[in-house]
């Protein structure tokens, strides 16, 4: 008798995303998180991959260790840490100076994540936001999604050439943590390694094609449960000189 394949639940995937945010903010990989939280390997993996949610005992361990908000962890509402003010969306430019003669309130800053996200084999970047922020017109970015769920990450490696080059900066919408029917370029994690790849759903089997635009890299076919979607790449920028 064939074993039933697990399917992640959207509400559990959202909790898993927040667990990954907490873990990477501390600079931990998944194995280190399991040790410090004293949670069984498979159990914790199921939390991050959206197959289950923490029970009462493990929920207390997570909250005690990270000091995060119970409500935020389970629902995404409010702030991640209770002592932080509840701010909606990214920081708005507050200085009285204008940008190109326009009101500063017409712009929002998107945080730039420290480290690099691999366009090659894959490495986990630091999730802490550094001092660099990029200003976008509010009316433009609101058409793309919620800027509060976006971040900018630097690409490393050549596997997505000629679409993306090492050193490019990509804008990732973490709210789009699902594969759209037409596919697209996503920030994904496989075996705890985060990378940029083109993803396509293969029908009727429902598996995923993980594609590098660079033809020197082989295309992979994987079960959906093996690929964790961190967000969709919706924009990129490139320096003319490096």
Q: What pLDDT, on a 0 to 100 scale, did the predictor assign at position 241?
A: 60
pLDDT tens digits, one per residue of 115-137 = 555 444 443 344 444 446 788 88
Is residue 119 packed enough to be buried (19+ CB in 10 Å), middle (13-18) or exposed (0-12)? Answer: buried
- The answer to whether the predicted template modeling score (pTM) of the entire model surpasses 0.75 is no
Supply φ then ψ for residue 207, to 5 degrees.
-85, 175
Average pLDDT for 78-100:
46
Give CA–CA dist 68/18, Å, rounded.
Answer: 10
Count of structural domains within the chain? 2
**Is residue 178 in some structural domain?**
yes
Residue 71 and residue 108 in one domain: no
CATH number for position 44: 1.10.260.40
Which percentage of the chain shows pLDDT scores above 90?
25
CATH number at residue 154: 2.10.109.10
Q: Residue 93's pLDDT band (boundaries 50, 70, 90)?
A: very low
DSSP character at residue 130: E
Q: How far apart are CA 195 and CA 45, in angstroms?
A: 18
Same domain assignment for residues 215 and 129: yes
- 138, part of any domain: yes
Q: Which residue has the higher pLDDT, 27 or 70?
A: 70
Q: How far is it, in rounded angstroms, from Cα 41 to Cα 39? A: 6
C-alpha to C-alpha distance for 120 and 108, rounded to whole angstroms: 31
């Amino acid at each position: 008798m064939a074993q039933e394949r697990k399917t992640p639940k959207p509400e559990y995937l959202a909790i898993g995303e927040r667990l990954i945010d907490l873990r990477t903010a501390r600079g931990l990989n998944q194995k280190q998180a399991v040790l410090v939280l004293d949670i069984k390997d498979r159990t914790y993996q199921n939390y991050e991959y959206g197959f289950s949610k923490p029970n009462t005992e493990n929920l207390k361990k997570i909250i005690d260790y990270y000091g995060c908000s119970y409500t935020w962890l389970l629902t995404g509402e409010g702030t991640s840490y209770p002592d932080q003010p509840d701010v909606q969306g990214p920081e708005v430019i507050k200085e009285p100076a204008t940008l190109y003669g326009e009101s500063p309130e017409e712009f929002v800053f998107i945080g730039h994540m420290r480290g690099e996200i691999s366009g090659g084999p894959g490495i986990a970047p630091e999730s802490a936001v550094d001092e660099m922020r990029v200003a976008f017109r509010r009316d433009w970015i609101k058409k793309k999604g919620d800027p509060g769920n976006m971040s900018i990450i630097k690409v490393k490696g050549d596997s997505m050439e000629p679409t993306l080059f090492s050193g490019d900066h990509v804008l990732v919408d973490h709210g789009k943590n699902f594969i759209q029917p037409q596919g697209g370029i996503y920030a994904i994690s496989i075996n705890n390694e985060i990378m940029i790849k083109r993803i396509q759903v293969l029908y009727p089997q429902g598996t995923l094609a993980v594609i590098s635009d660079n033809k020197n890299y082989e295309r992979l076919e994987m079960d959906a449960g093996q690929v964790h979607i961190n967000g969709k790449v919706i924009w990129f920028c490139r320096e003319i000189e490096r």
